[in-house]
Each structure stands twice: as structure tokens, then as C-alpha cells.
Amino acid sequence: NGDRVLAEAKRLHPDTPTVLITGFGDIMADADEMPPGIDKIVAKPFTGRDLRAAINRLLAGEPEAADAQ
């Protein structure tokens, strides 16, 4: 399950940013509601351009906002 994959990834590489892709972006649109260990949320449906932009913002250190409604 995704929780175990995330936990193991963070254990092995704690400084690696993580992106959650979800069909429930409206539920987790607020950075205060993000699950622990998640750095960025991208909501379905999204395009490759949306995902690249979200990753670029994450790597640039920009604040979280739900991407790609």
C-alpha cells in the first residue's frame, strides 16, 4: 500500500521530496491537511505539464497548493 511505500522511501531517503497524486484533490487542497511525509499534491486529472510544474515548484521551495484540478 502507498503508506508503506512512502514510509520506506522516507526511511531510505528522508530528504527526497514526495508528490502525492490523488483523485481527491478537493479534500486535501489545504497544505495543513496534507498527510505526513507528503511535500506536494497533484490532483487528477492532470497533464504532464501540470506534473512538471508541480515538481518544479516543489524543487524551487514554493509553498504547497493543490495542483491541476
Residue 11 contacts residue 28 (beta carbons within 8 Å)? no
What is the band of 66 on the pLDDT scale with cuts at 50, 70, 90? very low
Q: What is the DSSP letter of 35?
A: P
Phi, psi (rounded to 5 degrees) for 30: -95, 130
Instruction: Convert the pLDDT of each residue in 2-59 to its tens digit.
Output: 889 999 999 999 998 998 888 875 655 555 667 788 888 888 899 999 999 999 999 9
